[in-house]
Chain A
Amino acid sequence: MERTGIMAEAETPVAPPQPAPVRVYRHRLPARIWHWVNAVTLLILLMSGLMIFNAHPRLYWGEYGANFDRAWLVIGSTPDSGYLRVGDWRINTTGVLGRWTDAQGAEKTWAFPGWATIPTSYSLADGRRWHLLFAWLLSTGLTLYMLWTLIGGHLRKDLHIRRAEWSPRHIWHDVKAHARLRFPRGEAAARYGILQKLSYIGVIFVALPLMIATGLTMSPGMNAAWPWLLDVFGGRQSARSIHFITAWALVAFFLVHIAMVLLAGPINEVRSMVTGWFRLPPEREEGA
C-alpha cells in the first residue's frame, strides 16, 4: 500500500524498473585497517588518559603548575558533592565527576568515574602503561597513514578541497544540507562533502598530530632533546592543557561521526568500512 502511495506522488506516471543498487569501492584496505585500529586505539588512549588525569585533576597554563598555583580547570569534591570548575564558572557534577559511586556501591572522589577509565579503579601506573604503549600504535599508524594518503593518492583524490568547494555559498549549502539531514545520493554519495573533508583533514593533519606533539612535550626526556616543543606550546602545563582540550575535540568528532553514520544508513556505512564496498543510495525521485 505504501508503495503505491509513493508512486502516486512521483512525477512520472510509470515507475521505472528498480535498478540494482550501484556499488562503488569507496574505502581501500589501508584506510579500513587504520580506521578500525584507530577506533580501538583512541578509545584506550582516552580512557587511560582519563585515569592519568585523575592523578592530578587540575589544568594550568604556562611552564609550571601545582596545587598552590591557580588552575583554569579543576574537577574536585567537597564533603558531599563533586564539581567541575572552569575559570570562575562552577557546576555541580555529583554522581558523574568528582564524587560518584562505583560498581560496588562505594563512594569515590576521583575526577572521572571508574566506568570511564582504564583500569576501573585508581592506578596511575597501569593507566600510564596502557597510554604509553597505545601512543606508539597511534603515532606509528598515523605516520604510515599520512604517508599512504600522500603516496596512494587518497589526499589528492578524496580529501583535496577544490577551489570551488571553498566558496562560502558551497560551504553554506553543505551546512544546510547536513542540518536538514539531507545526505548526497547517487554519484555524489561516492565522494566526500566539504564538511567531511574538513573534519577528516582536521583529525588526520591537525588533531591527532597535536595530541602526539603535546604528549611528547610532557616528556622530560623529549624536552631535553627538543626544547623547542616547549616554546611551540607555551610550556609543559600548557601542553598538558592543550592535550586535554584536543582529546575532547576528538570525542566531539567521534560523536558527530557516529551520529552521521547512524543517520546516513549505519549498515551500508559500516559495511563499506569493513569490505570497502559502498552501495550508492538511489537518486531521489522528487528531485529535491
Chain B
Amino acid sequence: MSEVMLPRRQLIARAGGLVAAAGALPLLAGCDAINDAPAVRKILSMGEEMNLASQRALIDRNALAREFSRADLSPYFRPNGTRLPAGAAYAAHAASGFADWRVKVTGLVARPLSLSLADIRAMPQRTQITRHDCVEGWSAIGQWTGPQLSDILAAAGVKDRARYIVFRCADRLGDALYYESCDMVDALHPQTIMAWALNDKILPIANGAPLRLRIERQLGYKHAKYVNAIEAVASLDQIGAGKGGYWEDRIDYEWYAGI
C-alpha cells in the first residue's frame, strides 16, 4: 500500500534509477571515457580549426556584425560572468569613479602607454548597437560606445611581429585573473572597441566597468570585462596555460568563438 502513496514523480525517479543501474551505467561511463581520451580531444579540436579557417576564408576582414536601432535594444542587458570584482583595490577604484584607473598598452609596441579613462574618452569614439551572443545560447542587444582598439594599437605603435592581442582583467575567477585574446584580424576590425558606455550610460560594474572589450563577431566570453592591460604578443604560449583565454585554459572553450 505504501507504494501507492508514493508521488508519481518519485516513482518515475526510482524507475529511472533502476534503468540506469541495470545497464546504462557502464555504457555511459564508456561514452565519457571516449570523450576524455587524448586522441579524441585532438580530433574534436579539428572542428575549431576548420571553423576558424573557413570563416577567415569566407568572411571579409571588415565585414560588420549587424547593427540595430534603439528600438531593438533588450529591455535589460543581462550581465554574465563576474558581476562585481572582489578585492579592496577594485572597490577603491569604483568608489572614486575609476578616476585613477589605468589601461596599460604593453608588449610588442613601439610606445608603451598608460591610458586614463579621460584619455580613452578623448579619442575618436564609435557607438554601435549590436547583439551580444553568450556561448550558453542567449542574446541581448545593447548600445556600446568607446574608441576603436585599432586606434589604441596605432597610438602605441604595434610592431609587425605582434600576432595576438591579450586582454588582462581585474576580476579574479577562482585561481586567476580573467584574460582573453584575439588575433590581429579581430583586433583591427572596425567594430572592435574598448567600451566605457552601455545604452548611453556609464558602463555598469556588472557589465565590466570601467572598460570592456567588444569583439562583435565572436561569442560573449571573448568580450573581456574590467580591462586594465592590453598586450601585443607574438605567441599565446606564455599566456596562462597557452590556449589564449581563461575558459580556454580551464574547460576547453574554443579560442576562436565565431560560431
User: A residues near B, CB below 8 A?
Assistant: 52-53, 55-56, 58, 63-69, 81, 92, 94-96, 100-103, 105, 113-115, 118-121, 123-126, 128-130, 132-136, 216, 218-225, 227, 230, 236-237, 240
Between A and B, 14 residue pairs with Cβ closer than 8 Å are A55-B137, A63-B72, A68-B75, A100-B13, A101-B17, A115-B20, A119-B35, A120-B32, A126-B252, A133-B44, A218-B133, A224-B65, A224-B217, A225-B59
Q: Do the beta carbons of A224 and B31 come within 8 Å of each other?
A: no
CB < 8 Å neighbour of B217 from A103, A113, A220: A220
Q: Do the beta carbons of B68 and A68 come within 8 Å of each other?
A: no
CB < 8 Å neighbour of A94 from B12, B51, B259: B12
Q: Do the beta carbons of B254 and A224 come within 8 Å of each other?
A: no
CB < 8 Å neighbour of B55 from A55, A81, A133, A225: A225
Beyond A63-B131, A219-B259, A223-B131, list 17 extra A-B contacts (CB 8 Å). A63-B139, A64-B139, A68-B76, A94-B9, A94-B13, A101-B16, A103-B25, A120-B28, A123-B251, A129-B254, A136-B50, A216-B259, A220-B65, A220-B217, A224-B59, A236-B133, A237-B138
A-B pairs under 8 A by CB, number: 166
Contact (A66, B74) CB under 8 Å given A56-B137, A101-B13, A115-B28: yes
Q: Do the beta carbons of A220 and B219 come within 8 Å of each other?
A: yes
Residues of B within 8 A of A126 (CB): 35, 44, 252
Residues of A within 8 A of B218 (CB): 220-221
CB < 8 Å neighbour of B35 from A64, A65, A94, A118: A118
Scoring B35, B50, B253 by chain A CB atoms within 10 A of each residue's CB, the highest score goes to B35
Q: Do the beta carbons of A69 and B74 come within 8 Å of each other?
A: yes
Flag B124-141 by CB within 8 Å of A: 1 or 0 each. 000000010111111111
Q: How far is the CA of A240 from the CA of B131 in the complex (A)?
A: 14
What's the nearest-Cβ distance from chain B to residue A106, in Å?
Answer: 11
Residues of A within 8 A of B24 (CB): 103, 115
Residues of B within 8 A of A218 (CB): 133, 259
